[in-house]
Structure 1
Amino acid sequence: MIELRDLIRIFRRIFPVLLAATVTGAVIGSFVAGYAAVSPSATAVVSLRVQGMAPAEPDALYDGYYLVETERRFGDLLADILRTASLHAALESETGVALGRTVRVTPWDYRVNLRGPNAFSPETTAALQRLLGAAVREMSVRSGEPLEMSAAVGDAVPSPPFPREVGGLIGGGVALLLAALAVLLRRYLTY
């Protein structure tokens, strides 16, 4: 059985370490939650669509497989366009909004993160639509395919905020790990 005197001695040795780890975890947790809330962000869906088709030969027929495969290939090219530095720079200079992460939803649909003070405005999505439309038209002409393609940009919706509770949990987890590490190191280094 442990005596009260020994318990107080152990508590005195461990308390500063636990306090330092808890404060460090709280600072990290508040930084994580605060950083995520700094810049407003929105999410817009960018889609590639076939507008029309002009066969190269008058009697040429194109089946659905051709259309799907061509649209998929153009979807890959749209991903390349979304990653170009010139598109990012043009959108940022025009609207003050930065393009963030791009996630492929379907072979020809992408979810794009928009970060900045004007991320939710219709002007931002209109500017993105215009910039992408010009790039897709140029891509369509360069490819030589008999398809007319366009890019459609959906309305920007607010991205889900980073919950403060999650930041607190991250900070608490860091605090527990630091406290456990400090206790183990102190135990093995003092004996």
Structure 2
Amino acid sequence: MQLRNDLKNYGSITKILHWSTALLILAHIPLGWWMQNLPLGLEKIWYYNLHKSLGLILLFLIIIRIVWRQISPPSPPLPNTMSNREKNIARAMHISLYTAVLAQPIIGIFHSWASGYPIVFFNSYTLPSVRMLNKSFADWLSTSHFILGWGIAALIVVHISAALKHHYLNKDLVLIRMLPFCRTRN
């Protein structure tokens, strides 16, 4: 089992970080949209705390991914069949995803602080809070969090579509290199 990336394949750590982040986001987005419509009560508070807890894990994972990219850079090059324009779009796409997924939980944390609501990690530990009650700032953060959530969903659709295009139309190894338990031949 290869832990680090090499010139042909992504390592196990990169794949685990990628897929755990992906699964968490794919669970997190619908939860965030669904819980808003719950009536005010203990059930809604429980789901909001779950949403915040998962957001903290997501923030932690994306920071680990950024650090890991410095330790083991994504070495497999993009296929030579891609134009420079396509390669630049792919790089911009990854930067956008990383930036959005990093910003989203930070906005959520500030929204909780500005709204005066605690962040209770899995109903067991209350994170220290910065007292910054400000309704207009909280409203702006709420709108930003909502819009960025849609933006992340759109980026994910484009990301998945590009991976499928590489696999089914271009018939290259871009998708295979990131799939769990798959390796390209050296």
TM-score normalised to structure 2 length: 0.25
TM-score normalised to structure 1 length: 0.25
Give the structure, 1 or 2, with the largest relative contact order (CA under 8 Å, sep 6 or more). 1
Q: Which structure is higher in helix share?
A: 2
Highest CA radius of gyration, 1 or 2? 1
